[in-house]
Chain A
Amino acid sequence: MKAVWDQYTCEIGVTYAFEMAQLRLWLQRTSQGWQTAFRHEAQEGFTPLHTCGAIPPDLEWQRFITPPDAVAVRLVPVLPDRSVMSRPEGRIEIAPRHRGLFLVTIPVWVRVQTEVPSPVSLGDYPTVLLSKTWFGHPSEDGEIGYALTTRARQEMAELTDIEGRAICPVSIENHTDDALTFAQLLLSVRHMSVYQTADGKLWTNECSLGYTGSVFPASVTFGREAPKQARGAKLLSGPRVVPSGRLMARVITNTIFKQPF
């Protein structure tokens, strides 16, 4: 079976289709470039890029004029364009002076791009439509992100059916003498990359959070390469926003364990 995240050479006038989770994506190479159409359906599915016989009549095509030698497209997994606020399904407490490692799976977006002579994006398409949410107090500074419910699994063996999801290892260390409730957590995924291991699993950088109390609630650091669980993984896409000194500072102040209001 051909790899999902790969380059595909396409014929002019032939329609290709791709399914991942809720996303249904159609691609067509034209004499002057490319056109794409997409929709989301409640029923989740998965089919790698393939030639499509019947095209739904009501698709809204978007056209891209590209150089004539852009005859192939590459499908690249990228992380969402906003932060993801992940909330565990059940209550999780981390004992004082203890560390917990959680595997949060984040639905990726599909970036369609031509690469010859230089990369040209034909759009980013979310595989799952996540609800928007607000991280912070309504009348203070905060951030609009995507809401994600996570089972916060701790063992790799528990991760099944994760097609189209990137595994983000989140390490939370409680430096205080009180138990820490992991209620919800803002993951600034714009600063993370996507890697792929030989078995086809997608990974992001490791995210380490240290909880030090109420005054400076948390500090966060991102691994600079693939996490240790995915040694030798290949980089598929870099961060949307390269973390600079200022951005990192913002991430640190924003990544707090949310207090109820």
Chain B
Amino acid sequence: MKRHLPLGLLVLAIIGVQLLTRATDTAFYLTPLTMTAYYSLVIVGLCLLMGYAGQISLGHAGFFAIGGYLSAMLTTKNLVPFKDNSLISLCDELGLLVHGQDMFGSAFTHVQPWAACVCAVLVTIVVAYAIGIPVLKLKGHYLAMATLGFGIIVYRLALAFPLFGEADGISDVPGFPILPGLAVSGDFSSRVSNYYLAWGMVALAVWLLVNLIHSRVGRALKAIHGAEGAANATGINTSRYKLNTFVLSAVLASIAGIFLTHYNGGIGPSEAGIMKSVRYVAIVAIGGMANLWGALTMGALLNIMSLRGMFGSYDDAVFGAILIVIMLFAPQGLLGISLPAAFKRILRRGE
């Protein structure tokens, strides 16, 4: 039960913040707060991979982009010219397509958001396995560089294809109906419900991951992190556990990409960029690597500040600097270290 106490606090904080914005008439904060929730999904997944399984990924913006771009492309591409294609008509019969009109009144057919979402997640799983199987044989810097390479490829593909809108990205992405009367969209009227929906997903993801960390699998991951050879000799299929964790964190990133894209009504290549991947890694590091709650707290704080424009044009530089400072002075993360000791260390280094 003890391990679910922070989850209760998270739920209280979610409700408390919403009530606070209502009381202080600052509901405009709900938009960056909702976006932060989706970024938090990426961060908790990456935290599991880095902090518990001990594997780094500098390509998680790539998985976020695969989810976001595929979902955006499928729900905005007009399929009317292809309606005689046998695959398209099969999809239509299965009820996977939505028929409507565009703003000029012409016929407009696109893939239903749920179908697009499932498709995007499936593609993410396939890509994550295809990348993970060869790449997770590497360790340390080599793994970092290989995942970085993957991130660069996704970024360049997003920029290169007219289908993905090249430098403009994809806009006019429709809302994502979750339940009747509840859709993920940037509509002003559904701001509060979207806030709760997004943070509800975070709470669900955290609940699942906390359970996982305290299970047989979590113990196996920590064992792999600490002494991989000994873990293997204890009967743990280390490569499969690393791979499954990689895919799980990729799926979380992809789901975050899908929902944020529907919320924002579009996605651009900057979401696939290397600096986004660096930002995720920096946040997990500042949260304390193997500290889900630390990563979540620091992630929420920094993302809000970033989305509110507090870092100005130094946005990316701030996250780069955070990574350097954390690695130098507090590799265990900012939460959980004693500040006086940290200052002493800094002073000693200065001598």
Asked if A and B are interacting partners, one says no
Taking Cβ atoms with an 8 Å cutoff, the residues of A that contact B are: none
